[in-house]
Structure 1
Amino acid sequence: MLDGLGVVAISIFGIQLKTEGSLRMAVPGIPTQSVFNKCLQRYIGALGARVICDNIPGLVSRQRQLCQRYPDIMRSVGEGAREWIRECQHQFRHHRWNCTTLDRDHTVFGRVMLRSSREAAFVYAISSAGVVHAITRACSQGELSVCSCDPYTRGRHHDQRGDFDWGGCSDNIHYGVRFAKAFVDAKEKRLKDARALMNLHNNRCGRTAVRRFLKLECKCHGVSGSCTLRTCWRALSDFRRTGDYLRRRYDGAVQVMATQDGANFTAARQGYRRATRTDLVYFDNSPDYCVLDKAAGSLGTAGRVCSKTSKGTDGCEIMCCGRGYDTTRVTRVTQCECKFHWCCAVRCKECRNTVDVHTCKAPKKAEWLDQT
């Protein structure tokens, strides 16, 4: 179900030539954007956008058309993928499911996305948001030939502080949202089933989340810094604000079921609240992610670092699912007592600090396994 989403993550995939000559997408980690751009430019120059786009797994026809027509935007899509995966991993760093990416899997997260769970809802929303954020930023920074600053912010306007003139370069959120919708939603619009309806809803939540955090930045003009005249423009907020917001939406996600005609949602059970346009929605309960379960896409928590004292989700009791933890004494070397020396260097000492690191125990083998 995540093929359409997986291809959004172009920049985390090294585009590599197989020995048979076809292209595949692998996940050797998250390379730097400069490495990815050089790689992509080299292959596009040698093979052409059509060959590249035709050999990316998971693209539907409409996505291939957009890829071939706008290869420069695909670089921004890739940059957005790196950004949203990094943000997903930040938001869930202290949880059993920590947004781990899988090597050699163009769906990025593997089978965990087959379940219509809260986690799938969050991933679809944050990925859509990441694409909007990256394309919008690329437009305003002059990196794309098809778009630039927001053409609609012109003339005079007013806010709580009074009148101001639109000026500068407002971030072109309109283009970012429009392209992200066309590209990311293309697969779901073709399928027309309950899961596609869920994905489209969560994609829209991600796009609107970026728009929610547009901020107004202004520059004052006047004698001695007085603000008799203001020139203002709209700017994207840091993507962390979008990530924090969508994480709260994840915590309050609404379990739903599709209506009989498949055109909308209804509450999963009597007494559950109805979902609004800003809610993330899901169908299926999540696994507990305690143990390795390839069928469910769970990697388990064996070996995960936990906090001995925390009562939260990063605490050993919750993270380790009651299995207990191992403690290892580790010596860490850090820079300390840094001083500035004229001119112009900062010199630091090396400090050694011995700490206890707690990691979750692996689950014990079931008794029947010992009897076979």
Structure 2
Amino acid sequence: MVLNRGMHPGVCLGLTLALYRRAHRAWTTTRNCSKSSGLAARQLRLCRDNLDLMPTVVHSALVGMETCQNQFRDWRWNCSSVLSVPNLNNDLIRGTREQAYVYGISSAALVHSVSRACSIGVTTKCSCGPLPRPIDEPEKDFKWGGCGDDVKFGLSFGEQFTDATLINKKGKTKHSKKSMMNRHNFRVGREVKRKRKKKMKILVPKRRGRSQFRSDELVYYERSPDYCKPDAKTGSVGTEGRQCTMGTRGRGSCASMCCGRGQYNYTQVITERCGCKYFWCCYVKCKTCTKVLKLNRCR
């Protein structure tokens, strides 16, 4: 197998992203739970014990990837590196804020998808979530109905699945800086350093005046590159050829996206259906419209 420079085989994200390549697989036998799926040993055991949930886990991988790419579509780093899993670029293994976000969004997607799967009857391991307490009901005559998502089970399964990569072969919890970072990450990131507290290693903020992180903050410990030029060492693919917007400032603008290299302008002709009308009964008649778009790409 030949890998691109800067990519690492067999490095597991610790989550579910590598499973997106298995979206069309029928999870009917434990033989589907193989190392080629990009899962760690303990995740393979969970896979074999929860075959009915594996299509849901795969779906969560797709949700996580699509969300990441959508959120960063107009940033220099656009989350394109997730497409290389289970082989990873350096931007997803070096302890950067980009890695922090990918871990966080993947974990959230897994919990949400599994919780939802419980309420629609995908698995017999869980069912409906508990009904809200009476004091939460908006009106006296209001009654909760239907089947709520089993968030408690989703959280439990999600933790087992993600934290399975944070345990070594001897069954002990890993305490490396990267493992601690991955365990902590849930939402937004802030730079940190490692420090001992008595006999325990803990993550503490690098910024003075802060003693600890909130539970809703993502953490990272490695500075990110500017992602302007390709760099195999950092995992940057550069921004050459990326589409940008003229006349604006901030993310997505040519000034930010092109890193001072400038941009070139071009036009693109698009033909689409328009002016559609419904006629009784039963067909729709449309006109054909042509649009000329003026676009920009980074040099």
TM-score interval for Structure 1 and Structure 2 normalised by the shorter chain: 0.7 to 0.9
Unaligned 5+ runs, structure 2:
1-7, 169-173
Query: In the alignment, which of 191, 200, 204 is matched to residue 255 of structure 1?
Result: 191
Contact 1:254 1:274 in 2 (8 A): no
Listed as ranges, the matches of 1:146-295 within 5 Å are 146-150=125-129, 152-153=130-131, 157-159=134-136, 161-163=138-140, 164-190=142-168, 191-202=174-185, 205=186, 246=187, 249=188, 253-261=189-197, 263-271=201-209, 274-295=212-233
In structure 2, what is the Cα distance between the partners aligned to 1:198 and 1:10?
20
Partner of 1:59: 39
Q: Which has the higher helix share?
A: 1
Partner of 1:357: 295
Aligned partner letter, 1:267: P
Asked if 1:73 corresponds to 2:11, the answer is no
Contact 2:13 2:86 in 1 (8 A): no
In structure 2, what is the Cα distance between the partners aligned to 1:274 and 1:69?
37
Asked if 1:310 corresponds to 2:290, the answer is no
TM-score, normalised on structure 2? Answer: 0.86
In structure 2, what is the Cα distance between the partners aligned to 1:143 and 1:97?
36
For each residue in 1:47-78, what CA deviation from the matched residue of structure 2 results, as whole angstroms up to 9, or x when unmatched?
A: x31x3223335433321110111112111110
Unaligned 5+ runs, structure 1:
15-32, 206-245, 362-372
In structure 2, what is the Cα distance between the partners aligned to 1:306 and 1:173?
40
Aligned partner letter, 1:89: Q
SS in 2 for 1:126: helix
In structure 2, what is the Cα distance between the partners aligned to 1:182 and 1:128?
11
Contact 2:131 2:144 in 1 (8 A): yes
Contact 2:137 2:143 in 1 (8 A): no
Contact 2:18 2:38 in 1 (8 A): no
The CA RMSD over aligned residues, in Å, is 2.3
Contact 2:18 2:37 in 1 (8 A): no
In structure 1, what is the Cα distance between the partners aligned to 2:297 and 2:180?
40
Partner of 1:136: 115
Quote how far apart the aligned CAs of 1:349 are: 1.4
SS in 2 for 1:264: strand
Partner of 2:21: 13
Partner of 2:68: 88
For each residue in 1:163-208, what CA deviation from the matched residue of structure 2 results, as whole angstroms up to 9, or x when unmatched?
A: 4544321110111110000001111243321111110111xx2xxx
Partner of 2:26: 40
Quote how far apart the aligned CAs of 1:158 are: 2.0
The list of structure 1 runs, each at least 4 consecutive aligned residues, that deviate by more than 6 angstroms after superposition, is: none
Contact 1:11 1:75 in 2 (8 A): no
Tell me: CA distance 1:194–1:68, structure 2 relative to 1, closer, same or farther (3 Å).
Answer: same
In structure 1, what is the Cα distance between the partners aligned to 2:229 and 2:289?
38
Aligned partner letter, 2:32: I
Aligned partner letter, 2:135: H
For each residue in 1:209-255, what CA deviation from the matched residue of structure 2 results, as whole angstroms up to 9, or x when unmatched?
A: xxxxxxxxxxxxxxxxxxxxxxxxxxxxxxxxxxxxx4xx3xxx221
Query: In the alignment, which of 94, 103, 115 is matched to residue 94 of structure 2?
Result: 115
Asked if 1:97 corresponds to 2:74, the answer is no
In structure 2, what is the Cα distance between the partners aligned to 1:337 and 1:94?
31
Tell me: CA distance 1:195–1:135, structure 2 relative to 1, closer, same or farther (3 Å).
Answer: same
Quote how far apart the aligned CAs of 1:128 are: 0.1
Contact 2:19 2:61 in 1 (8 A): yes
SS in 1 for 2:36: coil
In structure 1, what is the Cα distance between the partners aligned to 2:181 and 2:151?
24
Tell me: CA distance 1:104–1:264, structure 2 relative to 1, closer, same or farther (3 Å).
Answer: closer
For each residue in 1:276-327, what CA deviation from the matched residue of structure 2 results, as whole angstroms up to 9, or x when unmatched?
A: 1111111111110101111211110000000012212100010000100111
Tell me: CA distance 1:346–1:310, structure 2 relative to 1, closer, same or farther (3 Å).
Answer: farther
Asked if 1:332 corresponds to 2:270, the answer is yes
Q: How many residues align?
A: 283
Tell me: CA distance 1:121–1:353, structure 2 relative to 1, closer, same or farther (3 Å).
Answer: same
Contact 1:301 1:360 in 2 (8 A): yes
SS in 2 for 1:313: coil
Contact 2:14 2:162 in 1 (8 A): no
